[in-house]
Amino acid sequence: MGVHLEFKKHNPIGEEEKALVNQVLDSGKLSQFVAEWGPDFLGGNFVRKLESDFQDFFSVKHAISYNSWTSGLIAAVGAIGIEPGDEVIVTPWTMSASAMAILHWNAIPVFADIDERTFCIDPESVLSKITERTKAILSVDVMGQSANTEKLMEIAEKYGLKVISDTAQAPGAMRNGKFAGTLTHMGGYSLNYHKHIHTGEGGILVTNDDDLALRARMIRNHAESIVGDAKVSNLSNMVGFNFRMTEIEAAIGVAQLKKLKPILKIRESDIKYLESRLSKLPGLLLPYVDQNNTHVYYTYGMRVNLNIIKNSKHEIVEKLTNKGVPNLATKFPNLHLLPIFQEKIAFGNKGFPWTLPGVRKEISYKKGICPVSENLVDNTFFQFYINDFDLSLENLDFIARCFEEVWSTLDIRQ
């Protein structure tokens, strides 16, 4: 057993946040949203400041805040005018909210497989899943780097689809010099406690499309009671929610956004140090970064090359954990295998929305539909959930040493 070091919890909250929150508390206005067409339809000072800061930072025309990114995703899917029974192609290798945002409009998630190296949705697999009912692609910039958005947009153009990017795990990641999340019709970021920067709960949707932005703002704030005064003629999905962010969260977000770049810089140098050691270990495949991308390492996803290493990934992770490496996991969600899809029971108990007229009976969620993502979870993938910690050099050295010691005990055939 190694020495168990203290790993300090990642905590980006400090004096800057406290000062701004106190301003909100002193004002007494903890939210300024009103569900009426007028200035306060867009929220209070800090909500608008946060949105305008995000617009500037991400060089995007519209940034729209939500009480969570799950809410933002639901608003995005509604805004594109999804019809009940429409198919949306999505990756299984993500947090469940990516697929639930589709189901919440009674549309049908269809899972495409992922690229084995980037873990993002595979455009070739997307192509093979397109049918007459396909309306959109929901792509996830998973673990910290962008999906192949040029290819997805090319497919979308050809088939008349919309593309939504779930960039919850990759705020600040670049693709070809532009921010992940801003490269498709709509995208967005989570401000949940577990993400790089956070407001406790919260999310920001981004888009360069005026019409989609207006619709996404409507859905955020009781759309049905606004559309008359706003003279909105397209009533599709103008079924409103209260997805509004409070002024307190927005104030925290204003301070948090300023910290994103410094946080990413530290993450980058931590990874550089770790990789200077881990890259020497035979059969350990480190995260592959697409040549057009920068990676912000929400989680550090590795693979075991089973042609070289004869031990199972489970055995390796157990050995590393016993030595004291925290936060390792062999799992990642394969959403199609969740009971909701296996049983096709979502709303009520009779199979809705898969029972809607026109929904293809052959849509399958059986094990085997996404062989790459399934093989990763079953056999080759494991991860170090790095975002939980503010790592010291001592922590990094300790982790690298544990890997080196475990590797010296493995059955390696070169």
Ligand X SMILES: *Cc1c(COP(=O)(O)O)cnc(C)c1O
Applying the rule CB under 6 A, the residues between 199 and 228 that interact with ligand X are 203
d(CA 222, CA 40): 13
Report the residue number, 205 or 396, with the smaller CB distance to ligand X.
Answer: 205
Binding of ligand X by 98 (CB under 6 A): yes
Report DSSP letters for 288-356, one per residue.
Answer: P--TTB----SSEEEEE-TTTB-S-HHHHHHHHHHHT--SEES----GGGSHHHHTT--BTTTTBTTTS
Q: 405: which DSSP letter?
A: H
Binding of ligand X by 296 (CB under 6 A): no
Report the residue number, 73 or 317, with the smaller CB distance to ligand X.
Answer: 73
The encoded tokens of residue 222 equal: 């009781």
Binding mask 137-176 for ligand X (x = CB under 6 A): ---x-------------------------x-xx-------
Query: Which residue from 50, 80, 88, 95 is in contact with ligand X, where contact means CB under 6 A?
Result: 95
Nearest distance from C-beta of residue 315 to ligand X, angstroms: 28
Report the residue number, 119 or 398, with the smaller CB distance to ligand X.
Answer: 119
Nearest distance from C-beta of residue 340 to ligand X, angstroms: 16
Largest separation between any pair of C-alpha atoms in the chain:
71
d(CA 345, CA 42): 37
Select from 57-65, 89-97, 130-138, 211-219 the region that touches ligand X (CB under 6 A).
Answer: 89-97
d(CA 312, CA 289): 25
Query: Which residue from 31, 32, 91, 94 is in contact with ligand X, where contact means CB under 6 A?
Result: 94
Binding of ligand X by 186 (CB under 6 A): no
Query: Which residue from 31, 65, 68, 182 is in contact with ligand X, where contact means CB under 6 A?
Result: 68
d(CA 308, CA 411): 8
Closest to 32 (Cα-Cα) out of 21, 44, 41, 23? 44
Nearest distance from C-beta of residue 92 to ligand X, angstroms: 12
Residues that bind ligand X (CB under 6 A): 68-70, 94-95, 97-98, 140, 166, 168-169, 190, 192, 203
